[in-house]
A and B are shown apart, each in its own frame.
Chain A
Amino acid sequence: MKTGGDFAEIYAEDRRATGAVLDDGRVEDLVSGRERGAGIRVVVGETTGFAHTSDLTEAGLITAADAAAGAAREGGGVVRTISLTRVAAPAPSRVEVLPETVAKADKVALLRRADETARATGGSIRQVNAVYGDNRRRILVANSDGVLASDDQVKTRFAVSCVANGDTGMQTGRESIGATIGFELFREVSVEELARMAAERAITKLSARPAPSGTLPVVIKQGSGGVLFHEACGHGLEADHIAKEVSVFTGRTGQLVASPLVTLVDDGTMTSEWGAIAIDDEGHPAARNVLIEDGVLTDYMWDWLRARKEGRQSSGNGRRENYQCLPMVRMTNTFVLAGAEDPDEIVRQTGHGVYVAQLGGGQVNTATGDFVFGMTEAYLIEDGQLTEPLRDANLIGNGPEVLRNIDVVGNDFAMGSPGTCGKQGQGVPVGTGQPTLRVSALTVGGTAR
C-alpha cells in the first residue's frame, strides 16, 4: 500500500440480491442483481478524497486510488509499508440456510401463500402486494492503520401490503419482517401471520375516523415506536452533527437530556437483528453503546473520521450504503430499555389520548430538533380504554422536549419492523425497539375539529 496521505483505505464489496414481487394476484417479477466494486479513501489533513470503481482489476484499482489521492491533494511520493492485522470482531450472525441455495420456486411460493391468506382475511381486501427479498453482502476493509477486516452479511425480508375497500374509500395495511439471517427466517415467522396482520390493519382502518388535531398524551405500543427515538435523538447523537454543532445535543454529555426513565442503547452486535453487523464499513468491530443512561447523555456515536479528531476510538458506527459511498456516522439497532409499568395500566391511566400500534417512517431536522413520524395504526383512548381506530397522520414534536415528556415506561419490550435509514442520500438497514411508553404531550396532526 502506497500513500502520501495521513490515511488510506480500500473497501471492497460484492453484493448479490434476489427479489420477487407479487401484485394483483400475479407474480410480476423476479429480479436478481449483482454489484461489486471498491471504494478508495485517502485523507490528507481535513480533506477526504474518494473514488470508486466497479473494475476490480489491478489497473482499475490503481486508477481509482490515484483519483482518490489526487482528490485529497496528495503531496506525492511518500511510500509507507504497512503490516495488516486482522481485526477480531464479534461473530457474524449465524446463517443456516443461505438464500442463494434456495430454489427460486420456494421464494415465489411464499408470496402466493401470503396473497391467499390476505385475501381470505376479509371480503373487503381488494389488493395485495407481497415482496420477498434477500441479499448477501461480502465486504473487505483494509487501511493504512493496519486494519484488515471482513464480514459476510446475509439479510432476508418479507413484506405484505393490502388495500381494503369500503364505504369510506380505500385504506391500507402493511406488515414486514426482516433479519440478518438466511431463509430459516421463515421457520420462525409465518408469512400467513404477516399477511393476516396487514389485511386486518387495512380492514380496521375502513371504520377509522379522522385523527385528532392538537396536543395530546400519546401511548406507543412496544416495538412499534422505536422510530420515535431514532428521529427524536438518534440522529442528533451522531458525532458528525455534533462536530458541526448542528445538533441540539451538542455539548450536553453528562447532562440530563431525557426523562430519568429513558435508557437508550445503539447495539450493532444484536445477532440476527436487521441492523446487526460484525464490523462496520470501516473495519471496526460492532459494539453495544449506551447513549443515554437514566436520562443522562453518556456518549455520541462515532465513525473513524470524527473519532480521530477527538483522539478516541470509533464506536463501530461508520457505515455506508455501498462501495460507491463514503462512510459516515450511522445507527445500527437503536432501542430504549424496558421500565417498570404494566403496559395495560399505562393505557388505563391515560384519560384521553392516542394509542399508536404501528408507526411508519419519520424525519428530523437535527439542528432544530423538530421531528415528525407517521402513525399507520392508531386508536383513540377515551376514559382509559382503546376506542375508535384513527386514520393515518403524522405526529410532530421537538426531540429534547419529547424525551423529557416521557412520563411512564412499560415493562415489556420488542424490536420493531426492519427499517431503512436515509441520510444524505444513503440508505442503510437499521433496527429499532422500545417498550410500551407514554409521551405526556405530543402534537397529533389529524384533521378532526
Chain B
Amino acid sequence: MTDRSLLELAEQVAGWARDGEEVEAYVARGRDTDVQVFSGEVESLSSAESARIGIRVVRNHRQGFAYAGSLDPDVIAETLDEARDNAGFASEDEFVGLAAPDGVAAASLDLWRDDLASYPTDVKVAQAIELERSVRAGDPRIRQVQAASWGDAAVSSAVATSTGIRASVRRTACFLTVNAVAGDSSDTQTGYGYSVGRGPSDLDLDKAAADAVERATRLLGAVKPRSDHVTVVFEPRITATLFGILAGTLDGESVLKGRSLFANRLGEEVSVPGFTLVDDPTDPDAYGAAPFDAEGLATRRNVLIEGGMLQRFLYDTYAARRAGTVSTASAVRAGFKSGPGTGARALSVVPGSESPDEILARIGDGVLIQSISGVHSGVNPVSGDFSVGAEGMLVRAGALAGPVREFTIASTIQRMLSGVVGVGSDLERLPSSAAGLTLAIADIALSG
C-alpha cells in the first residue's frame, strides 16, 4: 500500500466521525526481515508484513481508544465501534481533544532508502555471516559469537483526524548486531557491537565487529572493584540511555500530574553551564528524526536545558491545553496498542570541546563505564534514585588501567546533572531517541 492510499484510508476513517465527535485514525504498514546466524550457518530467517490501526474517539470530553493488527475493512469498523464505546467509560476532562493544524510547516526529511527495499536477501545473509566471521577472526581470545544478525524494517504510516490533521511518513532502517564472547570458562566476558542506518550504505560492518571484539577482550581478567566514591566517565552508548531517562522527567504530563523531579524548577539552574539538552526531530541526522509527531503536528526543535538552566517541558496536545500552553509536537506512540503520550524523539547534548582522551587525562582517576544493566529495576524517575550494575575500565593517572565488573554505580538524577565535569566532543548518533557523547560525572557511589 502506498503512502497516499494509507493517508486516504486514515482520512476515510476520520471522516466517519459523527456529530459532536472527534476521530483520529493512525494506520501503518510495515515489512521486516530478521536474519540470525550461528557458526557460519543461518540459524533463522524471518520475513513478514504487518498492518496496524489505532483509533481514538473523543466525545463529550471523553476519550476512548482501540487498536487492531489488521487493516481489513471489517476489522477497522469493529475497531472504530470499540473506540467509540470505550469513550463512554472515561472520565470527563475539559482538556481532552485531538490536535488541530497549527500552521507550523513540517521539516523536509528523507527517511526512506529505495535501495533497502531492493536489497537481496542473500546479501543480507552474507552480511550477517561476514559479521560473525569478522568477530571470530578479530582476536584469538574470542571463543564464541552468541548472536550475529541482520535486521531491517520499512514502515509507512499516516495519521488523519476529523479536526483537519493529515500527515504521513515512511521510513527505512537496517541494523547489524553482534554479541562476542571472549575468554575461557574461568573468565568469560562479553562485548556488543552494532551498526545502524537508514539504508545498507550507512552500515559499517568492520566497526560493529571491532567494537564487539574490543569490548569483550578488554574486560578479560576483570575484577570486582572496591567500594568508593568516584568520578565516572560514561561512554556515548550509556549517555544516550541517561538522556532518555532525563527526558522522561521533563515530560509536561508528568509535571502536571506531580510526578516530575523538576516540576517547579523552570528557569532554575539544574546542571552546569556547559550542559545544553535539545530534542530536535527535525535534524535529518538524528535516528529518531520525524517530520510529524504522533498526533500529526509538525515536529520542532525544543531546547530543554540551556547552559544548565531548565528551559522547557515537552507537551502533547492534551498536556499543553491543560498547562495553558501550546504543544511542542512531542506526542509519541509506544507501539500501536495505546494512544499517543508525550516523549522525546531526537535528544542530544551540545558537544563540548574535549575528546574522550582529553577528558580522561583531565579527571586523572575514575572509572570508564562501557555497559550498564538493570536500568528498569534501579532507576526511579520519580524519586530520582539511580542505581545500576556496570562494567568498565579503571582510569588511573588519566589512562585506562585494569578492567572491572560486578559492581554498581549509584547517585540521584538531580545530583548527577549538577555533577557533570566533562562533556565530550564525540557526538555519536545512536539507534535510540537520543544521541550520545562521552560524559564525566563526579562523586558517584561505586559499590563493589
A291 at the interface (CB under 8 A from B): no
B110 at the interface (CB under 8 A from A): no
Contact between chains at B410 and A447 (CB < 8 Å): yes
- Chain A binder among B64-72, B295-303, B431-439: B64-72
A286 at the interface (CB under 8 A from B): no
Contact between chains at B385 and A391 (CB < 8 Å): yes
Minimum Cβ distance to chain A for residue B245 (Å): 14
| Chain B positions 239 through 281: 1 when the CB is less than 8 Å from some CB of chain A, otherwise 0 | 0000000000000000011110100000000000000000000
A163 at the interface (CB under 8 A from B): yes
B323 at the interface (CB under 8 A from A): no
Minimum Cβ distance to chain B for residue A282 (Å): 14
Task: List 11 A–B pairs whose Cβ atoms lie within 8 Å, in order of A's numbering.
Answer: A31-B86, A35-B69, A36-B70, A46-B42, A49-B46, A363-B377, A368-B405, A370-B389, A372-B373, A392-B378, A445-B407
Cα separation A250 to B184 with both chains bound (whole Å): 12
Contact between chains at B63 and A28 (CB < 8 Å): yes
- Besides A64-B48, A169-B384, 7 more A-B contacts (Cβ < 8 Å) are A17-B337, A31-B66, A32-B82, A45-B41, A373-B374, A443-B447, A448-B445
| Chain B positions 38 through 54: 1 when the CB is less than 8 Å from some CB of chain A, otherwise 0 | 10011111111111000
Q: What B residues does A271 contact at CB under 8 A?
A: none
Q: What A residues does B67 contact at CB under 8 A?
A: 31-34
Closest B residue to A171 using CB positions? B383
Contact between chains at A47 and B41 (CB < 8 Å): yes
B190 at the interface (CB under 8 A from A): yes
Q: What B residues does A326 contact at CB under 8 A?
A: 44, 46
B409 at the interface (CB under 8 A from A): yes
B380 at the interface (CB under 8 A from A): yes
A-B pairs with beta carbons under 8 A, tally: 261
Checking B68, B190, B224 against A34 with a beta-carbon cut-off of 8 angstroms, the contacting residue is B68
B75 at the interface (CB under 8 A from A): yes
Contact between chains at B90 and A170 (CB < 8 Å): no
Cα separation A36 to B69 with both chains bound (whole Å): 7
B350 at the interface (CB under 8 A from A): no
Checking B90, B185, B405, B446 against A29 with a beta-carbon cut-off of 8 angstroms, the contacting residue is B90
Q: What A residues does B82 contact at CB under 8 A?
A: 32
Cα separation A447 to B232 with both chains bound (whole Å): 14
Checking A211, A370, A446 against B405 with a beta-carbon cut-off of 8 angstroms, the contacting residue is A370
Minimum Cβ distance to chain B for residue A80 (Å): 22
Minimum Cβ distance to chain A for residue B90 (Å): 5
A interface: dominant SS:
strand
Q: Which of B404-428 contact A (CB under 8 A)?
A: 405-412
B91 at the interface (CB under 8 A from A): yes
Cα separation A39 to B85 with both chains bound (whole Å): 31
Contact between chains at A53 and B48 (CB < 8 Å): yes
- Chain B binder among A217-225, A393-401, A406-414: A393-401
Closest A residue to B260 using CB positions? A170
Minimum Cβ distance to chain B for residue A238 (Å): 13
| Chain B positions 381 through 410: 1 when the CB is less than 8 Å from some CB of chain A, otherwise 0 | 011110111010000000000000111111
A393-B378 contact given A35-B68, A445-B389, CB 8 Å threshold: yes
A307 at the interface (CB under 8 A from B): no
A51-B144 contact given A27-B89, A445-B410, CB 8 Å threshold: no
Cα separation A393 to B144 with both chains bound (whole Å): 33
B139 at the interface (CB under 8 A from A): no
Q: What B residues does A126 contact at CB under 8 A?
A: 258
B312 at the interface (CB under 8 A from A): no
Contact between chains at B44 and A163 (CB < 8 Å): no
Minimum Cβ distance to chain B for residue A308 (Å): 14
Minimum Cβ distance to chain A for residue B239 (Å): 19
| Chain A positions 228 through 258: 1 when the CB is less than 8 Å from some CB of chain B, otherwise 0 | 0000000000000000111010100000000
Contact between chains at A367 and B408 (CB < 8 Å): no
B356 at the interface (CB under 8 A from A): no
B448 at the interface (CB under 8 A from A): yes
Contact between chains at A368 and B383 (CB < 8 Å): no
Contact between chains at A50 and B408 (CB < 8 Å): no
What range describes how many residues of B lie at the interface?
Answer: 35 or more
Q: What B residues does A27 contact at CB under 8 A?
A: 89-91
A113 at the interface (CB under 8 A from B): no
Q: What B residues does A397 contact at CB under 8 A?
A: 406
Q: What B residues does A53 contact at CB under 8 A?
A: 48-49
Cα separation A246 to B229 with both chains bound (whole Å): 33
Checking A171, A244, A365 against B382 with a beta-carbon cut-off of 8 angstroms, the contacting residue is A171
Contact between chains at A51 and B48 (CB < 8 Å): yes
B163 at the interface (CB under 8 A from A): no
Contact between chains at B408 and A394 (CB < 8 Å): yes
Cα separation A35 to B67 with both chains bound (whole Å): 9
Contact between chains at A372 and B378 (CB < 8 Å): yes
Contact between chains at A170 and B378 (CB < 8 Å): no
Cα separation A424 to B149 with both chains bound (whole Å): 12
Give 4 closest A-B pairs by Cβ, nearest first. A445-B408, A374-B377, A394-B378, A372-B374
B339 at the interface (CB under 8 A from A): yes
Closest A residue to B146 using CB positions? A246
Contact between chains at B257 and A446 (CB < 8 Å): no
> Which of the listed residues B68, B93, B410 has the most CB atoms from chain A within 10 Å of its own CB?
B410
Closest B residue to A391 using CB positions? B385
Contact between chains at B46 and A71 (CB < 8 Å): yes
- Chain B binder among A18-26, A85-93, A148-156, A379-387: A18-26
Closest A residue to B81 using CB positions? A32
Q: What B residues does A444 contact at CB under 8 A?
A: 447
Cα separation A154 to B69 with both chains bound (whole Å): 19
Closest B residue to A446 using CB positions? B410
Checking A48, A105, A368 against B188 with a beta-carbon cut-off of 8 angstroms, the contacting residue is A368
Cα separation A390 to B447 with both chains bound (whole Å): 16
Cα separation A2 to B70 with both chains bound (whole Å): 27
Q: Which of A190-237 contact B (CB under 8 A)?
A: 205, 211, 213-215
Q: What A residues does B48 contact at CB under 8 A?
A: 50-53, 64, 67, 324
Q: What A residues does B42 contact at CB under 8 A?
A: 46-47
Checking A55, A250, A361, A449 against B229 with a beta-carbon cut-off of 8 angstroms, the contacting residue is A449
A360 at the interface (CB under 8 A from B): yes
Contact between chains at A26 and B373 (CB < 8 Å): no
Contact between chains at B91 and A248 (CB < 8 Å): no
Checking B181, B338, B411 against A246 with a beta-carbon cut-off of 8 angstroms, the contacting residue is B181
Cα separation A363 to B376 with both chains bound (whole Å): 9
A370-B382 contact given A27-B90, A361-B376, A363-B377, CB 8 Å threshold: no
Checking A28, A30, A55, A394 against B389 with a beta-carbon cut-off of 8 angstroms, the contacting residue is A394
Contact between chains at B445 and A447 (CB < 8 Å): yes
Contact between chains at A46 and B69 (CB < 8 Å): no
Closest B residue to A445 using CB positions? B408
Closest A residue to B37 using CB positions? A47
Contact between chains at A51 and B46 (CB < 8 Å): yes
Minimum Cβ distance to chain A for residue B180 (Å): 10
